[in-house]
Structure formats: structure tokens, C-alpha cells
Structure 1
Amino acid sequence: MQLIKAACACLLAAFVAGCTMGDDVTRNATVQLPLADVSDQYLPTYTVKDVRISVPLNLSVSEANSIKPRADIVWRGDLGFDRHEQLRVLFEEAAAEGAELMQGDVDVVVDLTVTKFHGMTQHSRYAYKGDYDIHYTYVVRDAVTDAVIEGPTEIEVSLVSTPEAAIYMDASGYTERQYVKDYLVPLLSSTLTH
């Protein structure tokens, strides 16, 4: 048995050595270039003068209280049924607070479009661990010329929730809306931070 193992090891070593013979091997080759001086690369910082939020009306909405309804928008954090407008206001408030954290070199306006906001239904929020599936795109424009500086850029994030957390939040008066907003504020700010 030892002889067989030794023979196999020798064959494997010969095979590997054969694969690496020759002067023309370029796998894992590196190109030797001078490193760029970081000081030569200027990344502008932004002062956000305005954030324009859009939640297109063609995004489908579900009010079904199932585990995971098929729709672009599932939102229960506000009373009423104008979910497009509720999300527009939610993102607008969060973006305004996030923008206050940003004081940079270039005055900009941000166009942000919500492309999907799949939150949790009442049933799923209290019965299952799940997440808020949030998708949006943004474009950064010069506040003076309206020229595009950055984007369009697509962002997809998930905010996890558990039944235990939902029950605790409700008991302490911390609303679902506030929970999502508190997540969006630093998210929207960090989106524009280089």
C-alpha cells in the first residue's frame, strides 16, 4: 500500500512539473507598472443641495397579507393606500437627513428613482425572519449646470427583520416606518460618499 501511495505521489509530481515546464507560461504573470500616486487621483466630495425622489406609478403594488406577494411595492409602514407617495415621502425625508451629513467641494443635485421596495406584510413580519428588499437608481448632477457627474448607478440592499424584533419595536413605540427610515438615512448618505 505504501508503495502504491509513493508511486501515485511521484506521478502527480511529474505531472505538475510537466505542466510548468517551458518559458512561455503566462498564467499568474504580473505586469510591472509604476504605481499611481494617490494624490494625483482627485475624487470630489459633494454638498447635496437637493434630492429629487421618484417612485414611478408603473411599479405594481400589493396589499395581500401573504408571505411574499408578487409586486414591486409591498409596504405597510404607513396608513392608507397611496404606497407610491408614501415611499416617495419616506425616501425624501431620509435623503434630506442624509444630505445634511454631507458637506463637500461640489454642489450637486441627486435624482433618485425607487425601482423596487418589497417590504414585509403583517403576516410575514410577525411570523418569519425576512427582509425589506430595496432597489433604487441614482444620478448625481452638478447643481449649477445640471450636467451628470456620476451615474446612473443601481443599488440593491436588504434590511433584515425578525418577529422578535418587530414585537419589541411595537412594544417600545418604535414604528416600522422609523425602523426603515433609520436604515435609509446613512445608506443614502454613504451612497454618495467616495
Structure 2
Amino acid sequence: MHSLFKTLMAAILLVTLTACGSAPTATRFAMPDDTMPDETLLREMPPDVRIDSFTVTVPQSLKANERNLYYPIGDIVWRGEPRGDRHAQVKRIFVAGLRDAAPRIAGNRPVRLDVQVTRFHSLSEKARYTVGGVHDIDFRYRLVDIATGQQIGPSKNVNADLKGLGGEAALAAEGRGETQKARIISHLSRVIFEELMVPGGHVTANLGLLQAINDL
């Protein structure tokens, strides 16, 4: 019932919009799903840290949806690469973002950053080439002290939503080499940097009603 409500809300909004608008190295450490409990309080930003290594987990329990609807229901919706192992593709996107961010987080305390993807709902073909939408990206992470092997504070959930271009804007971006994949990798790099270097961490952009529907 919950999924049906989200689908109906998204469909109503998209029909309305259509009518009125123009068209370092990752380690092999594998982190089980149950080792990252939900946060119970906001973690203070660890001072003076650097990313010595990192892991990325995309649980197989996340369901991928390949249907070309305006709003396919699923945990993973990704069309920025040829059809294949979507879990592996999402993992590579996060790894690329982390590799870009890590050299800029250059403190003295070496840590391992463990990231677990909890949602990666990008745009279907139909949405991308008409009204656009929101790349709804959620993950949680923890920091582990390299010297002691102890986790630093609680794990933290992060919402990293990004505006998804549609129609002519999407085609123009593709022409400039700004593919969905390139934009998301750059965005994830910025989010990770802000989480570890900016007081308070990353602040999610306000992307309007579609974002609100995603969060229901």
C-alpha cells in the first residue's frame, strides 16, 4: 500500500509536469550488513583525519528495477550504463567518488571509511528524456581507527540527493560530457568531503516535491 501511494503520487506529479513544462585503493574488507547499526545521535566530526582505506558495500537485499516507468519502485534504479549487474555498477560509482575525495581529506589520524549504500534511485529513461527528477541516493558510513581497529563514534546516515536533469537540459549535459555517472561521482566526492571536513557535515539540497515523495 505504501509503495502504491508513492507510485500514484509520483505519476500524478509527473503527468502534471509533462503537461505544463518543456520537454586511495578500496580494501577487500567486506562489511556485513548488520555491522552498521542505525545512528542514535549525531556524530561529532572527527578532528584531523585522513582516509587510509575504504570499503563500499551494496547489499544484494537492495532490489533493482529495470522497468521504464516514470517512477519505477525499487531500491536501485540506474540507467546511466548498459544493462548489467546494477549492484556492481553502483559500487563502482561510489568507489570512484571516494577515490576522488580521499586525497583532499588529509589529516593526521588514519581511518578506514566503511560505506554501505541503502538506496540508489536514479532516473528511468522515460523520466530522463522528459521531465527529469531526483537522483535519490542514501548511504551510511562509519569511521574505523586504523591503529586500534575501533569504530569512531556511531555510524551516520547520509542523504545525498542530486537534481536529475531532464529533456533538453539532459541532452545538452550529455553533449558536454556531463553524463549522469560523471555528475553523480562528482557529487558523491563533494558529499564525502563535506561529511568529514565541514562542521555539521553535508546538507541535503531542497529539491522540491519529487524529493518529498521519495522520502515518504
Normalised by the size of structure 2, how large is the TM-score?
0.67
Paired residue for 1:187, among 181, 191, 196? Answer: 191
CA deviation map 1:55-78 (0-9, x unaligned): 001100001110111100001112
- Alpha carbons of 1:87 and 1:42: their partners in 2 closer, same or farther (altered >3 Å)? closer
Q: Secondary structure at the match of 2:129?
A: helix
Task: Please state which structure has a larger fraction of its residues in strand.
Answer: 1
| Larger of the two Rg values belongs to structure | 1
Structure 2 CA distance for partners of 1:179 and 1:42, relative to 1, 3 Å: closer
Which residue does 2:116 correspond to in 1? 113
* Greater RCO, 1 or 2 (C-alpha within 8 Å, sep 6+): 2
Cα distance in 2 for partners of 1:42, 1:188 equals 12
Q: Which amino acid aligns with 1:189?
A: F
Q: Is the 8 A contact 2:173 2:179 kept in 1?
A: yes
Does the residue aligned with 1:151 lie in a helix, a strand or coil? coil
Q: Cα RMSD over matched residues?
A: 1.7
Residue number in structure 1 paired with 2:3: none
Call closer, same or farther: CA 1:141–1:65 in 2, change over 3 Å.
Answer: same
Deviations 1:138-188 (A, max 9, x none): 000101221011331001121012323211112223222111111111111
**Corresponding residue of 1:101:** 104
Residues 164-183 of structure 1: pairs in structure 2 closer than 5 A: 164-183=168-187
Give, as a single letter, the amino acid of the residue that structure 2 aligns with 1:144.
A
Alignment partner for residue 78 of structure 2, among 69, 75, 89?
75
| Partner-residue secondary structure (3-state), 2:62 | coil
Matches for 1:1-194 after TM superposition, within 5 Å: 44-163=47-166, 164-193=168-197, 194=199
Paired-residue identity, %: 28
Aligned-partner Cα distance in 2 for 1:47–1:139: 13
Unaligned runs of 5+ in 2: 1-43, 200-216
**Deviation sequence 1:123-147 (CA, Å, 0-9, x none):** 1011113100000000001012210
Counterparts of 1:189 and 1:150 in 2: how far apart (Å)? 18
Segment drifting more, 52-61 vs 165-174: 165-174
Quote the offset at 1:43 in angstroms. Answer: 5.1
4+ long deviations beyond 3 Å: none
Q: Decide whether aligned partners of structure 1 residues 172 and 128 sit closer, same or farther in structure 2, where only a CA change above 3 A counts.
A: same
State the aligned residue count. Answer: 154
Structure 1 unaligned regions, length at least 5: 1-40
SS at match of 1:47: strand
**1:51: how far off?**
1.2
Structure 2 residue identity aligned to 1:190: E
* Matched residue type, 2:68: N
